[in-house]
Amino acid sequence: MKDEPIMSAMSVSVSLRPSTTAASSTSSPSPSPGRGVPERVADVSAPVPSPKRSLGARLGQWFGRGAGKSGGPGGGPKDGKDGKGDGKVAPAPLSPRAQSALRRQLTQCLSARLTDSAANDAARDFMTRYAAASPDLQRAWLAVVADICASDGNSGAEAGKDGDGASAKRAASGLAGALGSARVRFLKRFNALPDGLPFLVRWRADMLEHRAALPGLAALEEDLGSLFSTWFDVGLLELHPITWDSPASLLEKLMRYEAVHEISSWADLRNRLDSDRRCYAFFHPRMPREPLIFVEVAFVPEMAADVHSLLDEKAPLEDLRRVRWAIFYSISNTQPGLRGVSFGNFLLKRVIDELQVDFPKLRNFATLSPIPGFNDWLKSLSAQALAQVLGPKRAKLLAQEASLAPDVSGAQMMAWLQAGAERKAVQALQRSLGEALAAHYLARETARGQPRDPVARFHLGNGARVERINWHADLSRKGAKQSCGMMVNYLYEPDELDANLQRLLDGEPALGRAVARLV
């Protein structure tokens, strides 16, 4: 498996330009027996996957709980001002005439009734022109949208300045309510248009990216996020398998959106969709060619301990009559604009139900998951904090390692864990201490009352338990960078999900025996 390039785990940059893939219905090459790639695959010209965003961005999108930095799914807006990277947007200036015309158009969309055909035509025109505009022009238009839709209550305060404070508050509240209602009507107007929903999803991605620099967007973006919670309710979503026979346009999106383990080639994709694998995705009826989130599944005889064996294109096919485990080894959100809309937990539960129907004897379900926040946490520890996490016995063992200074900081510990050691005793010590630190991080480190690691937060919040830490499970550059090459299995026991979730709410996440011994 190749190392990941610039990754977006959670997310891939989504353009607001109209999609051309929706019209494609060409199927991919038909599969041939065995895991090997059929010869005709070599003739398929696959598009180069688009650059992906940073890890923090991906996680912020994947789990919808603020793992990304301010400014949106990409970890903060990227500015074009002198390379200073201050997050400020410098939109292309609009002429006074163009700005005035845009204001009239948007005001008409905001104020008119939903049945107003002229306002609907204005919304359709704005949507078309915005989608075709350059990024700089889109930012300039967003600045106008932010100015019009901002609800700061200043006018309400002015209305009540000659009366008492209560009157001013009522006036401001009334204005905010009126503007909020107008914003919702404004957004519903777009949603009612053909292709309006996918436009709004992409538009919110832009809002999230530029929200820090355009605070006036906050209210509109939050209103849209609330509407998405209803419009993308899990009861409205459709679960479909993705196979090698799916349309080529869909397979290309799978390659582009993969967020955990990069799909390096068509042969790699063919391997992941072979007969001993499954891939499922949620779709919205109004976005039938756009997967919202997908999970990749491998069937194996025992719980997977490393990702390299799962992605080995030369490995023999598993006999589905004998497999005992279904391993969820990659879960990817695809739409930055749906950040904060949670349906990943429903996806796994639905997939487990589907697998139990297809394979009645299958009883074991687990993930093989990254630990994306481990290295950042470890680097932040002082020598004193590291010693406290390790405890007296492990700290004493560490002190006996001649290659380390007496007071080892977290950053030094991280470097040592990744250093190649010749002596088996040192290798064993590295593994022992690394697994203990990872277990502590997953089981004990919290942020705002939830597991600090975003992937742990997701799976433990679904009712899974931390089953096993796997040393040297991902030896790619990305794996070393985020968790010293370690990965973790989260075990899904359908009958224990509710009880495990209650343990998490009580502050004691469910742990397997091997992990419990490490903390």
Query: Residue 127 sits in a domain of what CATH number?
Result: 1.20.140.90
- The owner of tokens 């294109």 is 313
Cα 519 from Cα 494, distance rounded (Å)? 25
In the structure, what pLDDT confidence band is assigned to residue 92 with cuts at 50, 70 and 90?
Answer: low
Domain end (from 231, 263, 278): 231
Q: Average pLDDT for residues 392-400, to the nearest whole number?
A: 89
**pLDDT of 473 above 60:** yes
What pLDDT is stored for residue 118 in this prediction?
A: 87
Q: How many CB atoms lie within 10 A of CB 196?
A: 19
Q: Average pLDDT for residues 328-339, to the nearest whole number?
A: 95
Cα 487 from Cα 496, distance rounded (Å)? 23
In a domain, 85, yes or no: yes
DSSP run (H or E) holding 153: none
Burial (CB < 10 A; 0-12, 13-18, 19+), residue 513, is exposed
In a domain, 113, yes or no: yes
Give tens-digit pLDDT for 108-137.
888 767 678 888 899 999 999 999 999 999
pTM of the model: 0.75
Angle formed by the axes of helices 117-132 and 196-210, nearest 10°: 60
Active-site residue, from 210, 261, 284, 459: 459
Cα 503 from Cα 219, distance rounded (Å)? 36
Active-site residue flag, 483: no
**pLDDT of 206 above 90:** yes
Asked if 284 and 247 touch (Cβ cutoff 8 Å), the reply is: no
Q: How far is CA 127 from the centre of its chain?
A: 26
Q: For residue 317, which phi and psi values (nearest 5 degrees)?
A: -65, 145
Domain count, the chain: 2
- Of 10-19, 94-103, 142-151, 254-263, the one with minimum mean pLDDT is 10-19
Query: What sign for the dihedral angle of Cα 238, 242, 248, 253?
Result: positive
Q: Provide the b/e sequence for 316-347 (b: ≥16 CB within 10 Å).
A: eebeeeebebbbbbbbbbbbbbbbbbbbbbbb
In a domain, 219, yes or no: yes
Cα 124 from Cα 121, distance rounded (Å)? 5
User: Of all residues in the chain, what percent are helix, strand and coil, respectively (each to 5)?
Assistant: 50, 10, 40
Helix (H, G, I), strand (E, B) or coil at 408: coil
**pLDDT of 86 above 70:** no
Half-sphere exposure of 336 (CA within 13 A, CB side): 30
Domain end (from 198, 231, 264): 231
In the structure, what pLDDT confidence band is assigned to residue 150 with cuts at 50, 70 and 90?
Answer: confident
In a domain, 33, yes or no: no
**pLDDT of 307 above 90:** yes
Q: For residue 512, which phi and psi values (nearest 5 degrees)?
A: -70, 165
- Return the higher-pLDDT residue of 66 and 101: 101
What pLDDT is stored for residue 180 in this prediction?
A: 56
- Return the higher-pLDDT residue of 110 and 212: 212
Domain range for 499 is 374-516
Query: Checking DSSP bridges between strand 364-367 and strand 487-492, what pairing results, if any?
Result: antiparallel
- Return the higher-pLDDT residue of 96 and 80: 96
In the structure, what pLDDT confidence band is assigned to residue 84 with cuts at 50, 70 and 90?
Answer: very low
In a domain, 344, yes or no: no
> CATH number, domain at 446?
3.40.630.150
**pLDDT of 156 above 60:** no
In a domain, 159, yes or no: yes
Asked if 158 and 167 touch (Cβ cutoff 8 Å), the reply is: no
| Average predicted confidence (pLDDT) for the chain | 81
Active-site residue, from 369, 409, 472, 483: 369
What pLDDT is stored for residue 160 in this prediction?
A: 41
Portion of the chain with pLDDT greater than 90, in percent? 62
Active-site residue flag, 369: yes
Q: Which of 26-30, 62-66, 357-361, 441-445 is the most confident on average?
A: 441-445
In a domain, 383, yes or no: yes
Cα 420 from Cα 263, distance rounded (Å)? 28
In a domain, 216, yes or no: yes
What pLDDT is stored for residue 164 in this prediction?
A: 54
